Amino acid sequence: MSRTSDPSPNSRLPDARQPMTSARQPSPSFLARRLPRPRISFRVAILMLFLIPMMATVMAIVYKMSERAEMVVYQLSSRIVEEVGAKIVARATGIVRVAEGHLLANTAVASATRVIPGQVVLADLFWQQVAFSPELAGMYIADLDGNFVQARTLPEPATRVIDRTTSPPTDRIIVRDRDYRPLAHLERPLAYDPRDRPWFMGTQPERRLQWTDAYRFSDSGRLGITATYPLLDSENRILAVLGVDATLESLSAFLSQQTIGPRSAAFLLDDRDRIIAAPHALEILDADALRPAAEIELDWVRNALTAIQTSTSGGRATPNIVRSVTDGQGYLTHLVTFGEGFSLPWRLVIVVSEADLLSEAQRILQESIVISAIIVILALFVIYPLSATFAESVAQLTHNTWLLRHFRPAEVIPVRSVFSEIQELDRAMQSMRDAITLVEGQLPTEVVRQLSSGAARVELQAEFKTITVLTSALNTLDPLFDHLQPEQVIAFLRAQIEHGRFIVTREDGTLEAFRGDRIHAFWDTPAAPDLAARHACRAALSFVRSCQRDLLDHRVEEPIMRCSGIHLGRGLVGNLGVGGRLRYSSMGRLVETAARLRDANSTYGTAIILSATVQREVKDRFRCRVLDAIRLPGDPQATPIYELRGDLNDRPDEREQTFIDLCETGFSQYRERHWDAAIAAWTRASTLIPGDQASALMIARCAWLKVAVPGFWTLPEDWDGAFPGVPVAHSDRCSDQDQDDSRSRDGD
């Protein structure tokens, strides 16, 4: 980090106290002399590069749309037919489906009763169906004796019962409101016989839905159709006929709502080429009878419908489009079928005027030209300032360079620019910023301040301080070596180290060293040791989560866990670098203690172990459970160690707290030599967290002590809880670095 390579930094770096304008003044050069002219020409070049292709595009659009007008006509015609036809077919199909559904639903009810005895039930049922189905005009049933029950909405809402079982027969009508409340009771001379109606007479003794042709209803004069279903006896003779009337006026109204063009329209024709639905504006529906298409007064409609009839006659295949000409104007007639699932022999014919289509194409062309012009105008306001932003980008890059040379990476602002050269320069500076930030994560705040002040050399004074040390390593590397390629292993370890560096820096720690998969960091905050311990605990928890994510990202399925040990105490911190290199490091027995705590995770099946000094500082912020009492290096008295299980703010879990309390109870009973009580507590804890290795270890230890003491072992009166003859666990994964440190660091 020394600046001895720059013999005259002040001659090349602006003073921090000088205004930034002077710092960004370039020395006279060829580039500086040529800068004004490129800025002006560059701005003009951007405008020309944009305007020329834009104008060429507009001209190409106009030319192509004029050249392919006929294709546009047919494409627009097909699109209109597809959209309008789908809506009309869906509407007509919906009316038919509603009528069929209600009729089939009533079959079971009507089969269970005769007409007159069930008149009330049938009338109520029919009313509920027609009242909530606007497409239906009436629902009724008639038997062979002429008895008749009806609920209708046209010409007025009413129920009607013709009873021929009485003498004389009666015809009663109850006029009702929409809520089925009776308004008037009418009784008229019997003049209506349902058996004489076409819907009754035309019903065949077959168990299926049957439809009549379109006709005018006798009571309302509305155009509609009737669906019937016969009720048969065991010999397939008709006993009664169910019927439902569906009006077709809603279809004509729906056709009127379709926006096709001033001289374009859609029509519904039956199998005899009679028009059963048409837009109201054309006024071609007869009030007395259905009119064939050949008798329509409007020439363009008659010619178009006749052309489609001629093209489909004689068993020829139905064409997609038939063209007709009336008064010099072309019309495209489309025939749309309803599909196999539709039970009526209807056809949908859509007639589209070519003039309407051309007007649509012309409108689209005009809109395209207008939109293109608007885009060009807007582009002038957007692109013209780009040349000005180019100069601003260069100025910001110069300022970022000054900030980096003065070791102030946090103030570096990314430069946003559309120019590749500017982007490359910005990426290079961002890389330099990241490198300086990496150094920041390895140095304490005081050292960073000295470097930020522009000092050519930094002297770090060694001193004893209260620090928090964290060491971390993977519990095993064998699965990686056995199942992954060398480059995959390196990629995984590189990701682990990179994430560890980021986590330590984020938690305001100093990353002292990393070797292989091991990470050593410490927190030097003598004024607030509890804050340092919290940072270390958060970093350790982040290590565990980061390891799990990296295992998934690199598709490592073997159980690998990152284990950490954290200890707080007094140690020596200072610069161990030689040869001009800066290495800010921590020394002392607490480093060895943290490494031993890390390796003890393999004994207890845990991921993070804290010393008692750390637990006292973080117990109000993190969930910790007591594991055991062990003798740490340099301490003849055994002290408790704890497992860090999580942050208290993360999802409070009653079972988790109960587990921690049971472990605390078990450890207390263990220290008091109450083996049975300790076993009971740890056993209950094992039921809450099945497979807990630490609980199983302590249960086995208590069971052994219960038998061995006092027969084979004699515990001293001031027994500190350490298991006799068993030192703290050492892992084969303890690095040479840790062993060297444990022999050479003698603080505390």
C-beta of residue 136 within 8 angstroms of C-beta of residue 153: yes
At residue 281 the predicted structure's pLDDT band, cuts being 50, 70 and 90, is confident
The residue that leads in pLDDT, 697 or 247, is 697
Question: Which range among 29-33, 259-263, 603-607, 678-682 shows the weakest confidence by mean pLDDT?
Answer: 29-33
Give the CA angle between residues 692, 697, 702 to the nearest 5°.
130
Confidence of residue 161 (pLDDT cuts 50, 70, 90): very high
Higher pLDDT, 179 or 63: 179
Q: What is the DSSP letter of 528?
A: -
- Residues 433-449: what's their mean pLDDT? 62
**Which of 136-145, 213-222, 298-307 reaches the highest mean pLDDT?**
136-145
Band of pLDDT at residue 552, cut at 50, 70 and 90: confident
Percent of the chain surpassing pLDDT 90: 23
Q: What is the pLDDT confidence band of residue 2, given thresholds at 50, 70 and 90? A: very low
Count CA atoms closer than 13 A to 472's CA, side-chain side: 31
Query: Which of the residue ranges 151-165, 256-270, 591-605 would you say has the lowest mean pLDDT?
Result: 256-270
| Distance, CA of 748 to CA of 743 (rounded, Å) | 14
Which residue, among 353, 395, 475, has the nearest Cα to 732 in the 3D structure? 475
Give the rounded distance of the alpha carbon of 514 from its chain centre: 39
Structurally, at CATH architecture level, domain 113-247 sits in 2-Layer Sandwich (3.30)
pLDDT at residue 737 tops 70:
no
pLDDT at residue 5, rounded to an integer: 37
pLDDT at 443: 62
Evaluate the omega torsion of the peptide bond into residue 168 and state whether it is cis, within 30 degrees of 0. yes
Calculate the alpha carbon distances from 584 to 285, 407, 472, 561, 574 in Å: 98, 18, 19, 29, 5
Helix (H) or strand (E) holding 244: strand 238-247
Q: What is the pLDDT of residue 1?
A: 37
pLDDT tens digits, one per residue of 658-691: 999 999 999 999 999 999 999 999 999 999 999 9
24 pLDDT exceeds 70?
no
Is 141 a residue whose pLDDT tops 80? yes
Q: Is 185 exposed, middle or buried (0-12, 13-18, 19+ CB in 10 A)?
A: exposed
Average pLDDT for 209-230: 84
Higher local confidence (pLDDT), 11 or 438: 438
Give dist(CA 729, CA 630) in Å, integer.
9
Give the percent of the chain with pLDDT over 70: 77
Average pLDDT of the chain, as a whole number? 79
Q: What is the pLDDT of residue 332?
A: 85
Predicted confidence at residue 726, as pLDDT, reads 45
CA distance between the termini of the chain: 30
Task: Say what the pLDDT of residue 337 is.
Answer: 78
Under 8 Å between Cβ of 580 and 559 = no
Domain-wise residue ranges, the chain: 113-247, 445-744
The 3-state secondary structure of 424-457 reads HHHHHHHHHHHHHHHHHHCCCHHHHHHHHCCCCC
The helix/strand/coil state of 627 is strand
What is the sign, positive or negative, of the torsion defined by CA atoms of 233, 237, 238, 239?
negative
Q: How far is CA 686 from CA 307, 466, 624, 642, 677, in A?
A: 88, 37, 16, 17, 14
E strand spans, 130-237: 136-143, 148-152, 158-163, 170-176, 182-188, 210-211, 215-216, 223-232
Residue 747 has pLDDT above 80, yes or no: no
Quote the pLDDT of residue 461: 67
Q: How far is CA 118 from CA 124, 144, 263, 398, 431, in A?
A: 10, 16, 53, 96, 89
For residue 527, is pLDDT > 70?
no
Tokens of 441: 């994560």
Q: Among 233-247, 549-563, 699-713, 734-748, name the one with the lowest average pLDDT.
A: 734-748
Instruction: From 157, 152, 173, select the one nearest 246 (Cα to Cα).
Output: 152
Distance CA 277, CA 252 (A): 5
As a whole number of angstroms, the distance between CA 272 and CA 345 comes to 9
More confident site: 384 or 104: 104
726 token code pair: 């068993």
Predicted local confidence at residue 14, as pLDDT: 37
To which H or E segment does residue 396 belong?
Answer: helix 354-405
Average pLDDT over residues 185-208: 90
What is the average pLDDT across 419-448?
72
Outline where 245-353 has alpha helix (H): 249-257, 299-312
Residue 25: other Cβ atoms inside 10 A: 11
Give the residue among 238, 221, 249 at the shortest CA–CA distance from 141. 238
pLDDT over 50 at 16, yes or no: no
Given a cut of 90, is residue 65 above it in pLDDT?
A: no
Q: Write down the CATH number for the domain with range 445-744.
A: 3.30.70.1230
Residues 606-630 have pLDDT tens digits of 999 999 999 999 999 999 999 999 9
> Which pLDDT band holds residue 383 (cuts at 50, 70, 90)?
low
Taking a C-beta distance cutoff of 8 angstroms, is the pair 611, 632 a contact? yes
Going through 535-589 in order, the beta strands assigned E by DSSP cover 562-575, 584-587
The mean pLDDT value for 249-260 works out to: 83
Burial code (b: 16+ CB inside 10 Å, e: under 16) for 394-431 equals bebbebbbbbbbbbbbeebeebebeeeebeebbeebee
pLDDT in tens, 312-322: 665 444 556 78
Average pLDDT over residues 17-38: 42
Mean pLDDT to the nearest integer, 183-196: 90
For residue 114, give both structure tokens: 């005769």
Residues 6+ apart with CB under 8 A from 74: 321, 332
Residue 577 has pLDDT above 70, yes or no: no
